[in-house]
Amino acid sequence: MNSRDRLAELAKARGISLAALSRMLSRNPTYLQQYITKGSPKKLEEEDRRVLAQFLGVDEEELGGPKEKSYKTLHRSKEWVDVPRLAVDASAGPGAANGEEQVFDAFRFSRRWLAEQGLDGAELSAIRVVGDSMEPLLREGDEVLVDCREQPFRDGVHVVRLDEVLLVKRVASKGGGRFALLSQNQAYPPIDVDGGDFDIIGRVVWKSGRV
């Protein structure tokens, strides 16, 4: 199996879209799709290959790199961070019950990439999106990274707890202690709430999903 087919196989096995992996590399969303299907570029740049190998947990050799630049060497140097995947859902629809936040798996990210994004791996978790209210931005089955650090509020997409359910919504301040929980899908009306009626769990900073 050549390196292109291997990359496609690894992405499919982990349920991660090529577009999401391309964005992780700070590339155009079609970058890896073109690499696999059209052979452009002919080979991955060394840094791109290194980051992908770290994230996917394989030797660089499997992605077209030389043996002496294998992932195993990077593995020993602890240049990656495992972000826990939690067995809870954040609803983009009517609401998901707030179950026990048990860790059942992890996503592996380059420590350097997280630092470049201004993120602290120790304050991140990954949860699954259910429902369609945030389409097309977030689709059912997507997994999102949630930055749980305490920080000043600013408008954006957040995971919130409202009436004992978890929601993923765009949260906008209306002033006077009032907030709007907004859906991307216009079929869902805004939810107007007081600041004391809901809790912000964290800010959504990255997503992974199938093409």
Q: What is the pLDDT of residue 96?
A: 44
For the stretch 39-50, pLDDT in tens is 888 888 888 888
State the pLDDT at residue 78: 62
Q: Report the percentage of the chain scoring pLDDT > 70.
A: 88
pTM score, whole prediction: 0.60
92 pLDDT exceeds 70?
A: no
Average pLDDT, the chain: 84
What is the per-residue pLDDT across 56-69, written as a single tens digit (0 to 9) for each? 778 888 888 876 54
**Which helix (H) or strand (E) is 3 found in, with range?**
helix 3-14
> What tokens appear for 170 in the block?
């765009």
Highest mean pLDDT among 58-72, 95-109, 127-141: 127-141
What structural domains does the chain harbor? 3-76 (1.10.260), 80-208 (2.10.109.10)
Alpha carbons 60 and 52: distance in angstroms, whole number: 8
- For 99-104, the CB contacts below 8 A with 24+ separation are 101/125
DSSP H helical ranges for 39-179 = 46-56, 71-76, 111-116
Distance between CA 78 and CA 203 in Å, rounded?
26
Q: Is pLDDT above 90 for 94?
A: no
The CA distances from residue 98 to 86, 122, 127, 147, 160, in Å, are 11, 22, 12, 18, 11
Cα distance between residue 131 and residue 9, in whole Å: 27
Look at residue 194 and tell me whether its pLDDT is greater than 90: yes
**What is the C-alpha to C-alpha distance for residues 23 and 55, in angstroms, rounded to an integer?**
13
% of the chain with per-residue pLDDT over 90: 41
